[in-house]
Amino acid sequence: MNNLILKAEKTHSLNKEEITSILSNNNIDNVLFSSADRVRQKYVGNEIYLRALIEFSNICQNNCLYCGLRAQNSQIQRYALTEEKLISTAQIAIDAGFKTIVLQSGESSAISTKTLCKIIKKIKQNDIAITLSIGEKEYNEYKDLKNAGADRFLLRIETSDKNLYKKLHPNMDFDNRIRCLKNIKELGYETGTGCLVGLPGQSIGSLADDILFFKSIDADMIGIGPFIPHPQTPLCTESKGSLITALKVMALTRLLLPFSNIPATTAMETIEAQGQLKALQCGANVIMPNVTDEVYRNKYEIYPNKSACGTTINNFKKILACKYAPTGRTIKMSKGNSLNYTKKHR
Ligand code: SAM
Ligand code: SF4
């Protein structure tokens, strides 16, 4: 088994059977984590890239069974930031030194593509990168947003298991999600995807397929997080995902996609204190501090008790630098482009 991990460290390739056997074996976790940590250091270095996350609207037309923002959750108070508020929030993050802004929302046309384009153009008057995480759109909308200046797009596949996808996403279509990812890639966005770990009905084999899916689309960014049940969703009584399994999926992803940007996700920190620190030591190289005003952030409840950094926007760099210095890592406020992307677009 150790040889299999060393082989992956050198060749960046494993088949489904090999991935499944590593995921099923609990005795080799530390070997796997150390291997992913070496690959991370060799290919993307010791810097932790910071991205400022703005959750600009919790309005969503979809009903993903796991998510607190689902349309049928009538217990949450919906909001959408005004154009001015969104731009001023981005400006505060830019003034604090952030070079990447991530604009995330539920999937809806509450803020039209036209308005979003206007906002993007305005923010892009600064020398920064913009990542969008706003769900499924038509090709022309993705195109307009790209032309307005958006650089990157995150759209998790959530699960590559078509049957499970269907069960968890009423009125959504797996093939359309794939179409969206293809469009995003074709339009020249840095392309991000990812999955949830520990979904009810998800098998180890399907997690192996998720990792192979990331490899097959040559993803530039990959966000992996444990499923956390939300009390106002149909999955409220299900068990939460396991941090260790999520870290193993992430570590294997690092072995197979050495140049990609991989965040230590908020869900990892929420499920266990120091979850992000652990993630940074087994493959992750990105942290996305939430810079949304607290009043809105509390309403953007994908899952309960979403971990916050607990600091002011100007202190992120200092606090995180102190926190992660003992691991030999430095905080970088640069754009932090995905090397997986830049090596293809030189
Ligand atoms: N609406 C957009 C979309 O779905 O792509 C972007 C926002 S959505 C809230 C961002 C991510 O939150 C999803 O891709 C999903 O993986 C994650 N998420 C939603 N509910 C979750 C839960 N209960 N536990 C962990 N992650 C969750
Ligand atoms: Fe909406 Fe995204 Fe939540 Fe699904 S995961 S309900 S699309 S916000």
Site to probe by mutation for ligand 2, drawn from 53, 59, 70 as the one with most ligand atoms within 8 Å of Cβ, is 70
Helix (H, G, I), strand (E, B) or coil at 96: coil
Atom of ligand 1 lying closest to residue 106 CA: 1
Q: What pLDDT sits at residue 324?
A: 82
Q: Which residue has a Cα nearest atom 6 of ligand 2?
A: 70
The whole-angstrom separation of Cα 222 and Cα 246 is 12
Residue 130 host element (H or E): strand 129-133
Q: Are strands 52-57 and 129-133 parallel, antiparallel or unpaired?
A: unpaired
Q: What pLDDT sits at residue 315?
A: 75
- Using alpha carbons, select from 83, 102, 76, 80 the residue that is nearest to residue 299: 76
Q: Which residue has a Cα nearest atom 14 of ligand 1?
A: 156
Ligand 1 in reach of 169 Cβ (< 6 A)? no
How many angstroms does the Cα of residue 243 sit away from the middle of ligand 1? 17
Q: Is the torsion defined by CA of 17, 20, 199, 341 positive or negative?
A: negative
pLDDT along the chain (346 residues), means of 10: 92 98 96 98 96 97 98 97 97 94 96 97 98 98 98 98 98 98 98 98 98 98 98 98 98 98 96 94 95 93 80 72 82 88 86
Q: How many CB atoms lie within 10 A of CB 39?
A: 22
Q: What pLDDT sits at residue 307?
A: 72
Q: What pLDDT sits at residue 311?
A: 60
Ligand 1 in reach of 100 Cβ (< 6 A)? no
The whole-angstrom separation of Cα 138 and Cα 215 is 24
